[in-house]
């Protein structure tokens, strides 16, 4: 399919950037994983005394099939599926053709389609986390850490309720997002998916009826663990997907952190605190030549909103199933890659946006120096130590809702009934120097983040 003819922007406009997703969530990837699970199950059956051992030739064909799934195999599978109208049964028939076993009845023995599907989909998710999601999260967080460290001591205006508030540093404000993101990165890196292998109603009934001497619960546990998954041993026909929901919500939480960053950076750019680098030949508007728009952060914001809507739906829908199961989850599950695709695209866009912004130090210092009323907080705090009066109310009367000048503050300090040492301390205050422990907080956050991201 040509990218220009894709219905979804993930397959069209952004198709070339979705390679990590196609590796994990394409129809080809899902079929490949289904075949892999069936083949590994065949091998695992060799450990129990239900069928005669595979011959050397049969084992050779099985090993060859494990490592050679490609376009011809996929095409044949789809041909079989078109005849049977059942995707998992098509895998069984395909393997009967491919393996030419003396007793092909061992293929898919005792299993239900959901045994294969839940494991195949989960392996797709696991593959994406390891090769797509974690590497991109790491890259994005490392970029945030690099900029936070670079900006650690740059005085930066802040706002609460949209109004001017006590200054910070540009690095410390960015370090907040870094700390939140690294916390979630650490959880995702340790995350373990679950899977089930229990037959039509989760009770191993067919397996137990055919081979009652086998410890099927232990067999299933060992098999699922061999796929580097945790075994969910008490299920209906379907794996309950609470574990998937946990993963979706973890991803959604990270998306919320990045969307928060996008929104703040958009505002910082609009206020002039941050400036964007221009590139030769780019256009910001079809009619206004001067425009340099924060489109990377806007693109990220929009894609995160789409992604989180889908992730919320998936985490609510998939853990619920009528009695043993219903089929409504099947078509929904096929959209996991769409939700993660919009997330992936958003993370890329934020990364691109960060690469093009820097602090406009001159603009930040100018705004801070024009806001001497911000010193009302440290002044009243210092006065609390040396007077029994109500310094908060004094400063409120002087500054709240009024335009305050440096001269007015100086006159206020001169009229205070305090020791000259206190006056000198108050006069020495400056808005651009009133940063508290922001640089130290930022540098510590960067240090801890780098330690975590390089493990």
> What distance in Å separates the CA atoms of residue 78 and residue 94, rounded to the nearest whole number?
10
User: CA separation (Å) from 79 to 1, 84, 101?
Assistant: 19, 9, 21
Alpha-helical segments (H) within 5-86: 19-25, 27-44, 56-66, 71-84
3-class state of residue 93 by DSSP: helix
User: CA separation (Å) from 180 to 35, 70, 259, 260, 295?
Assistant: 39, 41, 12, 11, 24
Neighbouring C-beta atoms of residue 277, cutoff 10 Å: 9
3-class state of residue 9 by DSSP: coil
Query: Which residues, 6 or more positions from 59, have their beta carbon under 8 angstroms from its beta carbon?
Result: none
> What distance in Å separates the CA atoms of residue 447 and residue 319, rounded to the nearest whole number?
39
Nearest to 363 by CA among 433, 271, 267: 271
Tokens of 84: 């049977």
3-class state of residue 372 by DSSP: helix
Q: What phi-psi label fits residue 100: left (phi over 0), alpha (psi between -120 and 50 degrees) or beta?
A: left
> What distance in Å separates the CA atoms of residue 80 and residue 120, rounded to the nearest whole number?
19
> What residues are annotated to the active site?
161, 285
Alpha-helical segments (H) within 278-335: 295-317, 328-333
**Which three-class secondary structure string do you get for 397-444?**
HHHCCCCCCHHHHHHHHHCCCCCHHHHHHHHCCCCCCCCCCHHHHHHH
User: CA separation (Å) from 199 to 34, 212, 246, 271, 375?
Assistant: 16, 15, 24, 60, 70
Query: Which residues, 6 or more positions from 444, have their beta carbon under 8 angstroms from its beta carbon?
Result: none
Residue in the block written with tokens 């958003």: 346
């Amino acid at each position: 399919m040509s990218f220009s003819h894709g219905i979804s922007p993930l397959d069209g406009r952004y198709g070339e950037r979705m390679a990590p997703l196609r590796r994990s969530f394409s129809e080809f990837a899902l079929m490949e994983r289904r075949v892999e699970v069936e083949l590994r199950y065949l091998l695992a059956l060799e450990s129990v005394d239900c069928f005669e051992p595979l011959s050397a030739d049969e084992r050779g064909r099985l090993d060859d099939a494990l490592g050679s799934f490609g376009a011809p195999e996929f095409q044949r599978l789809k041909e079989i599926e078109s005849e049977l109208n059942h995707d998992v049964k098509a895998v069984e028939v395909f393997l009967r053709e491919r393996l030419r076993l003396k007793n092909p009845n061992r293929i898919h023995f005792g299993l239900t389609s959901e045994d294969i599907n839940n494991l195949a989909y989960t392996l797709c998710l696991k593959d994406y986390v390891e090769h797509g999601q974690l590497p991109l999260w790491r890259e994005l967080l490392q970029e945030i850490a690099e900029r936070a460290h670079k900006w650690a001591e740059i005085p930066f205006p802040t706002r609460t309720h949209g109004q001017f508030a006590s200054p910070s540093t540009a690095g410390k404000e960015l370090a907040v997002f870094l700390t939140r993101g690294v916390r979630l990165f650490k959880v995702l890196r340790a995350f373990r998916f679950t899977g089930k292998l229990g037959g039509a109603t989760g009770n191993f009934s067919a397996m137990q009826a055919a081979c009652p001497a086998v410890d099927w619960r232990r067999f299933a546990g060992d098999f699922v663990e061999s796929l580097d998954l945790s075994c969910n041993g008490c299920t209906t026909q379907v794996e309950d997907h609470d574990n998937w929901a946990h993963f979706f919500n973890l991803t959604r939480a990270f998306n919320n952190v990045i969307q928060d960053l996008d929104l703040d950076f958009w505002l910082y750019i609009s206020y002039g605190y941050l400036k964007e680098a221009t590139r030769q030949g780019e256009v910001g508007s079809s009619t206004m030549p001067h425009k340099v728009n924060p489109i990377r952060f806007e693109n990220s914001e929009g894609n995160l909103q789409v992604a989180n809507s889908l992730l919320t739906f998936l985490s609510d829908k998939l853990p619920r199933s009528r009695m043993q199961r219903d089929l409504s989850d099947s078509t929904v599950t096929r959209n996991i890659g769409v939700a993660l695709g919009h997330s992936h695209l958003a993370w890329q866009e934020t990364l691109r946006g960060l690469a093009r912004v820097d602090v406009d130090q001159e603009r930040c210092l100018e705004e801070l120096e024009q806001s001497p009323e911000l010193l009302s907080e440290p002044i009243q705090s210092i006065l609390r130590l040396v007077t029994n009066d109500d310094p908060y109310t004094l400063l409120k009367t002087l500054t709240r809702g009024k335009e305050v000048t440096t001269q007015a503050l100086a006159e206020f300090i001169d009229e205070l009934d305090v020791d000259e040492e206190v006056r000198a301390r108050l006069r020495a205050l400056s808005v651009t120097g009133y940063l508290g422990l922001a640089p130290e907080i930022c540098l510590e956050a960067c240090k801890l983040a780098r330690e975590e991201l390089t493990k």
